[in-house]
Each structure stands twice: as structure tokens, then as C-alpha cells.
Amino acid sequence: MTVKTRFAPSPTGHLHVGNIRTALHNWMFARKHGGTFLLRLDDTDTERSKEEYVSAIRADLAWLGMHPDSEERQSARSARYEEKFAELKASGRVYPAWETAQELDLKRKIQLGRGKPPIYDRAALDVSDDEIAAYEAEGRTPHWRFRLDHDGPIVWNDLIRGEQKFDPSLLSDPVIRREDGSWLYMLPSTIDDMDMGITHVVRGEDHVANTAVQIQMFEAFDAPVPEFAHEALLVGTEGKLSKRLGSLGVSGFRERHVEPQAIVALLARIGTSDPVEPVTQVETLAEAFDFARFGRAPARFDEEELAQLNQKIVHMLDHEAVRDRLPEGMSAAAWDVIRPNLHHLGEVDGWWQVVTGPVSGPDLDADDSDYLRQALSALEDLSWSDTIWKDWTLVLKESTGRKGKKLFMPLRQALTGLDHGPDMSALLPLIGRDAAIERLKTSIS
Ligand code: GLU
């Protein structure tokens, strides 16, 4: 069997971190098994679906490095849905229902008032021809429900949740089509999964009850039922899916200079028994990917953990990987010197400025001014090499008797304008002789 997974967002908004996680797991599972990954745009809701979101979804996936092997759009498949709907009609698995939203609401309230579960009572199956004629005369059109088969439980072995069992008589026959002919999610999704040969449906556990219904739909079409993996939902550090998490997406990550590798590494592992690790190679993550490692408890998304992971990942990225985003002229050698100081790539310009100048040194007391004067003349006398910092500070140590912080700090401050930063022995060769002399002169002038 060749694995085929799909990620099926509705293009009614931007992807948020929860959707991204679902996409990632679908993609990784396909990668691990040498299968394919489909992007399916669930755009049957023509009012709310927008092209700008379609483009954004594609761009976000590309930025994260998840390239779909193919793409489908539900809006292009109406004729196919119509055809399969006609089959279900012919076999009596769908039926028209005429209740208005208010009537249904009232029924539910009465059931609840009697302490009963609000399951649809199938009254539509008993509507007489005369009543139908009357509804039609009123200008009413029906919506359509899928008739669940009440014989025996619906059972599947979920790859994350284990055996799942639903009693179909405790479920309402789902509405699959609205009065205006438009489709609800349930049936088109099943038809697509069937037609597109989806072998594994990986999605959030909010879809578990939908799966019970969809399994009966696959069976009604005599189609093989895919495997299902329903993952526990994502929550924030406060234990629930906050509004913030629900709106945090790729643009927010980019603004915060979070590398796509950090997002992938975090979302691949949270909620599983595997540790979160700074892995930059997605292949490595995909190889270890296994639904058996997923827990039933919600996965916790912690922005602080992401920031720390991001920092570790930045420290692992080589020049080649970041070159396009570095300041003009910044060499591989410079990247290697500055990289260990970065919390994220957004700080690189600031450090590059320290190399290229201008920098402004601190106010000096008389003692340090004298020291820097000596340092300047010592530097002018030395022959410049890659070991210049070591040579220079050795000379100064001997001539001034200073050591430790008193020896190094005034030099660092005069040369960088800061009292912390990259290792001076690596930084000074980058700053270069002329600029270093210039900065020392400025600091004592
Ligand atoms: N468009 C559906 C959603 O975003 C897809 C669910 C599914 O994966 O089947 O919830």
C-alpha cells in the first residue's frame, strides 16, 4: 500500500499553529512511508472562502518546507458530489428533511427538557406526499440527511486513540446538504478521501464523531475505509486553546524571527513521548515519527519553549542556510563569530553593525583613558594577524599590570560600544585594523 495523506483546510482564514501541526503530521507520516501528501482545499463555502487565504495557505506550507505532492479543490468537484449524492438517493441512504432551523431547535429543547439526548427523531422519514406538496407550495426546499445504519456499532482502530466504538442510534443522521443545495463538510470529504485514494486520515480529535459517520459513508459506497489517527488538541501553557494560539500563525512566527525548523521540530514532538530536540533535518524527525508515540492528553504549546528551541536551531544553521537573510557583505566567517550570540536571526543586523560600525564607546574615567591610549599605541606597533587579540592583550597585560576584566573590558567597550558580545579574539579580526584604531582614537578623544 502506498501511503497517501491529506491536509484539508478551509480557506476561510489563515492557518494557525493547530492547523500547522495537523499538516505537519500528515506530511511527516507520508514522508516516513515514502507516500504522498495532498493539499485539499475545502472551499465549498463560497461566501467565506477567499483566494487570498488559498495563496496564504500555500505560502505558509512552502515556508515551513511542506511541499504538497498535489492539490485539489472541492469547489471544482461539485459534479462528482452530485453524482455520488444521486447514488445515495437511489439506495435510500439520504432523505429530504423539511424542518426549519427553528423547528429543529424546538425539538432539541423539548428533548433536553425531558432529559433525553438531542438526537434527530427522523420525523422527515414519515412526511406524507401531501405534506411535501404543501411544503413545496409554500416555496420550501428540503435539506438532506444521511441515514445512518443502526445495525451494530461503528468500530475502528484509531492509530492514536485505540479502539473506538460508536452506537449509531445515539447519533443524529447528519445534514449533508443545505436547502440551497450547498454541501456541508461531511459528504464531500468522504467522496474526496475515497476518490483520491487517501489511506490515512490524520486530524484533530474534534473530528472523532464525524469519523463514525464517515465510516458508514465509505461503506455505503462500498469503498475501502482509510485508517484514522485523531490527535489530541493543542493547548497553550494555560491549558486551553487560547484566542492567541488560535490566531498565531506563520506571519506571527516570521515577525518574531522564528525559524521554520524550530516550529517543525516543536510541533513534531509535543504531545508525544519523544523529547523536543533542536533537529534541523526534517528527515530525522520524519524517520522517528510514529502515531504510537502520541499521547491522549492535549499537546502543550509553549512560546517560551519555542523561543529556546529557535535559539538552539539558529546556533546550528550554517551560513549557506541563512545567507539570503544576512546583511550585505556578511561572510561565513562573520556568521560563525556572531551566531553564538543570537537569540534569533532578528538580532544579526545589530551585531553586524558592531562589526562594521560606527559604534559609540562609553564615557571613560581618566584611568581607562590612559589605558586605552597605551592600548592604541600597542596596537599600532603590532603586526596584524588572526591572533591579534591574544598578542595585543598579552603585551598590555605585561606593560600595564592589568588583568581579567580590567584588562579586557575597556577594550571591548571601546571597540564595540558594548560590555558583552562575541568572543573578542574572533571579533577583532572581523572589525579589522583600521576600524579598530579608529574606534580607539574616538573613544579617547
Ligand atoms: N476542512 C476540515 C477542517 O478544517 C477538514 C477536516 C478533515 O481533515 O477531514 O476541519
> What's the pLDDT tens digit per position in 145-166?
999 999 999 999 999 999 999 9
243 is in an annotated binding site: yes
Structural domain 244-314, CATH architecture: Orthogonal Bundle (1.10)
Task: Decide: 402 in ligand 1 pocket, CB within 6 A.
Answer: no
Q: Is the predicted pLDDT of residue 104 greater than 80, yes or no?
A: yes
For the residues 412-441, what does the mean pLDDT come to? 96
CA quadruple 225, 159, 235, 344: dihedral, nearest 10: -100
The CATH fold assigned to 79-177 is: Glutamyl-tRNA Synthetase; domain 3 (3.90.800)
Predicted pLDDT at 360? 86
Question: What is the CA(8)–ligand 1 centre distance, in A?
Answer: 5
Predicted pLDDT at 279? 93
Task: Decide: 282 in ligand 1 pocket, CB within 6 A.
Answer: no
Contact by Cβ (8 Å): 57, 7: no
CATH 1.20.120.1750 fits 357-444, yes or no: no
Q: Is the predicted pLDDT of residue 72 greater than 90, yes or no?
A: yes
Q: Is the predicted pLDDT of residue 258 greater than 90, yes or no?
A: yes
Residue 398: count other Cβ atoms within 10 Å of its Cβ: 10
Question: What is the CA(1)–ligand 1 centre distance, in A?
Answer: 24
Task: Decide: 203 in ligand 1 pocket, CB within 6 A.
Answer: yes
Q: pLDDT tens, 203-239?
A: 999 999 999 999 999 999 999 999 999 999 999 988 7
| Residues paired with 204 in a beta bridge | 231
Contact by Cβ (8 Å): 436, 372: no
* Exposed e or buried b per residue across 53-71, where buried means at least 16 C-beta atoms within 10 angstroms of its C-beta: bbebbbebbeebebebeee
Hey, which of 207, 210, 215 would you mutate to test ligand 1's pocket, going by the most ligand atoms within 8 Å of its Cβ?
A: 207
Question: What is the CA(285)–ligand 1 centre distance, in A?
Answer: 24
Taking the C-alpha atoms of residue 244 and residue 129, their distance in angstroms, rounded to an integer, is 52
Q: pLDDT tens, 291-319?
A: 999 999 999 999 999 999 999 999 999 99
Alpha carbon nearest to ligand 1 atom 7, residue = 8
Domain ranges of the chain: 4-73+186-235, 79-177, 244-314, 319-355, 357-444
Contact by Cβ (8 Å): 225, 219: yes
C-alpha 162, offset from chain centre: 26
Task: Decide: 11 in ligand 1 pocket, CB within 6 A.
Answer: no
Taking the C-alpha atoms of residue 152 and residue 168, their distance in angstroms, rounded to an integer, is 8
Contact by Cβ (8 Å): 297, 232: yes
Predicted pLDDT at 241? 67
Classify burial at 261, counting beta carbons within 10 Å of its beta carbon; exposed 0-12, middle 13-18, buried 19 or more.
buried
For the residues 54-72, what does the mean pLDDT come to? 97
CATH 3.40.50.620 fits 4-73+186-235, yes or no: yes
β-strands 143-146, 175-177 pairing: antiparallel
Nearest to 200 by CA among 15, 20, 28: 28
Q: Is the predicted pLDDT of residue 337 greater than 90, yes or no?
A: yes
Task: Decide: 8 in ligand 1 pocket, CB within 6 A.
Answer: yes
Task: Decide: 184 in ligand 1 pocket, CB within 6 A.
Answer: no
Task: Decide: 19 in ligand 1 pocket, CB within 6 A.
Answer: no
Per CATH, 4-73+186-235 and 244-314 having the same topology is answered no
Residue 401, C-alpha cell as written in the block: 599590570
* pTM exceeds cut of 0.85: yes
Task: Decide: 193 in ligand 1 pocket, CB within 6 A.
Answer: no
User: Residue 77: pLDDT band by 50, 70, 90 thresholds?
Assistant: very high
Atom of ligand 1 nearest to the CA of 202: 8
